[in-house]
Structure 1
Amino acid sequence: MPQAASTGAQSRHRRTAAVALLLAMVFLLPGGRLIGLYNWSWNQKLELRVMTPDGAVSGSSVMRASYGFRPEWWGWGDRGRSIIGHSGEAAFVEVAPGRYLFAIMSQNDPKMAYETFIGPITTSREERIEGFDRLYRLRETRALPRELYPTLVTFRDINDPASVQKVDPDDLEASFGAGYRLNAINLEITDENRTSGRLNKILTWVNEYYDKRLDGDRYGYLYSKNRFANSLSAGSFNTENE
């Protein structure tokens, strides 16, 4: 009897493994659309252009963005079925010797590209499929609309992660002094490779902060003494622990 039970368990295990393999093959192949699985990935370059007392400077980074949604039969509401991701490092520019402006990364980055090049994301599944199909094929550069600007930050001391502070894109002088102005933030859908390795040369401490916040605390706290630093970690600047 125990042998029969064991044989039955093995048979069920084989069937489960076969089903899992079949589903994996379906999801990974283009035919996944036949069962309602949609996914798009593209490279997008974010460029910061700044006017300084010594002239215009710029800096950029290319990240990998993706968006998709699972089949309607997956069992969740439509929002729960969305799959949003990004990888790479944050765009930055040196605006003065040892002083940098960073655009921190956000899970909204793929949506930011869609809304810049296509328009507002609607609740219509069909419209989103058509829109992301267009975005995926685009190779274009546009000025990022002001309402889609990412959070901009700098560090009072580049070697001290807790010294991070938010930068007002409409008032760079408040952070850097007279003569500094944000000229534009440009976004490009590109064939360029994802940027890697540049940011860690500037933020030399970043690999030490994937498991804690920039103020040194392990978790985020509503009443942290340094609330802004406590809200950020290394993942806000680089998704890859190098």
Structure 2
Amino acid sequence: MRIVPLRLAVALLAFCLAGYGRGESYRYKLTVEINTPEGVKRTSNVVEIEFSGVSVPARGVMHKLNGEALYLDLGDGRRPLIVSIVNQLHPLYGKDVRWSRDGGPSESLWSELYGAQQTGADLLEKISALSTKRGSHEIRPDDLPDLLTFADINVPSSVMEVDRHNLPASLGQNVSWANVALEVTNEPITKSINSNLPWLQEYREKNLRLDGASHGAKRELANILSWSNFEQTRDLKRTR
């Protein structure tokens, strides 16, 4: 007799977490071009953001990232430029936010690029409308989330923050912005970061910070950042 109420409770919770079947998503494509002495280096990545309505513990909309950071190889022995999948180090709030902490480009940024969303529409309706938009638009380097690199790509604790207003300081002389563009797309989600960061899979499986610690208790950059700054996918599994 006790099993039935438990099953009902689990079913009810799953029903609530599914937001009564309401869910929307869109994909964004970020393209970065950098001037180097060898010419312009360019790459793009595609990330999906999934939204779902929930009523437990309160009514609202949850979101989840599905994708990875943008990795740009600058060649000639230079350090790479990595645009994090999240905006953790210097998040902004309110009307000033351009890239949310963990939910991709802000609503205000999309409104600027594609026009204001429908007045009175709820968030899921806005996401549905946004997913149909097309066309690439130039954005500013200041609009981007965290910019990172590594003194040694094989040593995660050697992570460094890149000053977007002074690229040569961490990426080498004669390196500068050429163009940054953002758009909504239906292209496939990018899945290549593991080939560029050979340690990432192990750190994900063990749920480690970049200094190898399992907890964030220090103020050093390598302890603040973890594998999740580079990859977040619904299929990922951790061992602890």
Same fold (TM over 0.5): yes
The answer on 1:209 being equivalent to 2:206 is no
Structure 1 segments of 4+ aligned residues over 6 angstroms from their partners: none
Query: What is the aligned length?
Result: 216
The question of whether the paired residues in 1 share the 8 Å contact of 2:80 and 2:171 is answered with: no
1:189: how far off? 1.2
For the residue of structure 2 that corresponds to 1:159, the secondary structure is: coil
Task: Tell me the distance in 1 between the aligned counterparts of 2:149 and 2:173.
Answer: 16
> Whole-Å Cα distance in 1 between the matches of residues 52 and 29 of structure 2?
20
Which residue is 1:166 aligned to?
Answer: 161
Cα distance in structure 2, aligned partners of 1:115 and 1:39: 21
Matched with 1:218 is 214
Q: Which runs of 5+ in 1 are unaligned?
A: 1-7
Q: Return the alpha-carbon distance in structure 1 between the equivalents of residues 12 and 172 of structure 2.
A: 60
Partner Cα separation in structure 2 for residue 234 and residue 97 of structure 1: 26
Shift in alpha-carbon separation, 1:111–1:87, aligned structure 2, 3 A: closer
Q: Is the 8 A contact 2:49 2:104 kept in 1?
A: no
2:73 matched to 1:94? yes
- The 5-angstrom pairing of residues 135-214 of structure 1 reads 135-196=130-191, 198-210=192-204, 211-214=207-210
**Residue 131 of structure 1, CA deviation:** 2.6
Root-mean-square deviation (CA), in Å?
Answer: 3.1
CA contact (8 A) 2:35 2:176 kept: yes
Structure with the bigger percentage of helix: 1
Contact 2:33 2:178 in 1 (8 A): yes
TM-score (ref. length: structure 1): 0.75
Superposed displacement of residue 103, structure 1: 0.5
Please give the secondary structure, in 2, of the residue aligned with 1:182. strand
In structure 2, relative to structure 1, the CA distance for the partners of 1:83 and 1:145 (3 Å cut) is farther
Amino acid at match of 1:17: R
8 Å CA contact 1:118–1:131 kept in 2: the answer is no
Deviation by residue 1:49-93 (Cα, 9 ceiling, x = unmatched): 11111111111211111234424xx453x6xx3312101221111
CA distance in 2, matches of 1:217, 1:23: 34
Per-residue displacement from partner, 1:143-170 (whole Å, max 9, x unpaired)? 2344431111111111111111000112
Instruction: Choose which of 27, 36, 39 in structure 2 pairs with 1:43.
Output: 27
1:122-161 CA deviation, whole Å, 9 max, x = no partner? Answer: 9x97353443232122123222344431111111111111
Correspondent of 2:83 among 103, 121, 138: 103
* Contact preservation (8 Å) 2:25, 2:128: no
Structure 1 position 117, deviation (Å)? 1.9
Tell me how far apart the structure 2 counterparts of residues 144 and 68 of structure 1 sit (CA, whole Å).
28
